Homo-oligomer: A and B are copies of this chain.
Amino acid sequence: MAVPLAVAGVVPTVVAPPALRVAIAGLGLIGGSAGLALRAAGHAVVGYARREETRRLAVQCGAVDDAPATLAEAVAGAQVVLLAPPVLAMRELLGLVAPHLAPGAVVTDAASTKADIERWALDLLPAGARWVGSHPMAGKETAGIEHADSALFRERTWCVVPPPGADPEAVAVVTRLARDTGARTMEIDAASHDRAVAAVSHMPFMAAAAIAQSVIARESFGEIASIAGPGLRDMTRLASGDAVMHRDICLTNRDNLVAELEEYVARLSQAISLLRRQPDPDDAAGHPAVAEMGAYFADLKTARDTWLASR
């Protein structure tokens, strides 16, 4: 009779899967932080960046084991290749990396939008390579390898975005790497991803940019700056994010973003209409617009507090 090991008092040994040979092309905040986290998890990491100074810094801060001077050397023999350049540079980078990939290499990325990039990847990568997109939902207002942080992805959502008919083993490899950085993974298709991030991430940063433009960039801001508090600071924080990243997101998620911004403007216009209906404050008691405005804020407070409590 077969006795389960645990019953027999033998502690089953969990065999850790072997460490992977990872190449990271693009050693900015995201690439550098991924390198730090993946090396800490035991993987072998080779990095590549165009600028020699960046490669030197990446080795120096421990984000990579090695950073050869060419993309071909960096990618040679890698089981997984993580592409982490600015979004609009992805297309060119996919073309540059394609001829040097090891047979069966899993290729993934870290860009904020997914549908255009998936199309480029399936178009440009060789038949033997296995594409699975990904998007770590993490960042900082400070770009560059010098701000790389091994804890950047901890407890954050990392979207794993397999194309139609993706190899399950390749999906598992990307999922494993994401989890090894401390992130929680979430599998989602590219179109759904881009629609969702347009709502929860891209529209909000456009809103922050427009507040910065409307208030901070106005000519007379100097006269009112001393009265500004944490509200304005927090509501414009996202406008201090990387300008190239924001531009590239706009370019590769344009249609979803326009739809979300139009919905947002419609909501603002409703609020303006409600404000216009308000009575003179001297005669406010019992006016229906006052009750409506009170319910507007109370309902939204409840919706947000409920969301935060459920996280």
Contact indicator B221/A297 (Cβ below 8 Å): no
Name the CB-closest residue of B to A262: B272
Residue from B157, B221, B247, B265 within 8 A of A227 (CB atoms): B157
Chain B binder among A13-21, A33-41, A97-105, A206-214: A206-214
Decide if A217 is an interface residue (CB 8 Å cutoff).
yes
Contact indicator B304/A275 (Cβ below 8 Å): no
Decide if A299 is an interface residue (CB 8 Å cutoff).
yes
Please tell me the number of chain A residues within 8 Å of chain B, measured between CB atoms: 96
Contact A234:B231 (CB < 8 A) given known A243-B298, A247-B294, A307-B225: no
**Shortest beta-carbon distance from A291 to chain B in Å:** 9
A252 to B279, CA, bound (A): 10
Contact flags (1/0) for A247-278 with B, using CB distance below 8 Å? 10011101001101111110111011001101
What are 25 A-B interface contacts by the 8 Å CB criterion? Answer: A88-B281, A91-B281, A137-B229, A156-B229, A186-B227, A196-B224, A199-B214, A200-B229, A207-B207, A207-B211, A209-B296, A211-B264, A213-B267, A216-B303, A216-B307, A225-B307, A234-B234, A235-B235, A236-B304, A239-B301, A241-B301, A247-B294, A250-B293, A261-B272, A264-B268
Q: Which residues of A are in contact with B by a Cβ distance under 8 Å?
A: 88, 91, 116, 137-138, 156-157, 159, 186, 188, 193, 195-197, 199-201, 203-218, 221, 223-229, 231-241, 243-244, 246-247, 250-252, 254, 257-258, 260-265, 267-269, 271-272, 275-276, 278-279, 281-282, 284, 290, 293-294, 296-301, 303-305, 307-308, 310-311
